[in-house]
Structure 1
Amino acid sequence: MHSPYQPINCDLHDYLEIACMHHYRLNIELNDGQHFVATAITTRTASSKEEFLLLQNENQQFEIRLDKLRVITPLNKNASFGCITF
């Protein structure tokens, strides 16, 4: 079942934009408990107004709807932010 999109706080968008601008490698935890590591590429807004983070891992590019994010932590040395909870 597809739940209605819940926009995230504007302040959190800033962290995602920084992560994408610097292509940070992120440790990502989703609301459903899934964990994985991927590189932030860009964000996009669908015509339905849902927002997504485009990521790259070793095998493929994929996207995560922003309201599914629980925590992101950059793994890059000297990243401009630390662990961010959504």
Structure 2
Amino acid sequence: MNQPTISCDLHDYLELACMHGYRVRLTLKNHQIIEGKALDTLTTAEKQEYLILGIGHEQSRVELNQLKKMEALTPNAKFKEVSF
């Protein structure tokens, strides 16, 4: 069963982070913290949505429904912090 998707307003922040290649710190609902470069978003055929992060030479997918907070680490970013 799929969880509800996030709002369009919050999607805009994710797209902005990806478009500008911001480094971000994500806090998940389970309190795990992940840092990396926002690369892209992905929606699967099952309608699950992910943020693709570049972490070193690897890429990681973070399910959007698990996001609690995203902080921009890139200086002069167009946003500082977004709560989901």
- TM-score bracket relative to the smaller structure: over 0.9
CA distance in 2, matches of 1:79, 1:49: 29
CA distance in 2, matches of 1:42, 1:57: 13
Where does structure 1 lack aligned partners over 5 or more consecutive residues?
none
- Secondary structure of residue in 1 paired with 2:79: coil
CA distance in 1, matches of 2:20, 2:57: 20
Q: Which amino acid aligns with 1:25?
A: R
1:9 aligns with 2:22: no
- Please state which structure has a larger fraction of its residues in strand: 2
- Listed one character per residue, the Cα deviations across residues 36-84 of structure 1 (whole Å, up to 9, x for unaligned) are 2111000011000111100011141010110101000000111001110
CA distance in 2, matches of 1:74, 1:56: 14
Where does structure 2 lack aligned partners over 5 or more consecutive residues?
none
CA distance in 2, matches of 1:45, 1:82: 25
* Counterpart pick for 2:74 among 73, 76, 80: 76
CA distance in 2, matches of 1:5, 1:62: 20
1:5 positional shift = 2.4
Q: Which amino acid aligns with 1:19?
A: A
Q: Which amino acid aligns with 2:24?
A: L
Counterpart of 2:39?
A: 41
Counting aligned pairs with the same residue, the percent is 38
1:20 aligns with 2:18: yes
Number of equivalences: 84
The two structures, once aligned, show a CA RMSD in angstroms of: 1.1
Counterpart of 1:56?
A: 54
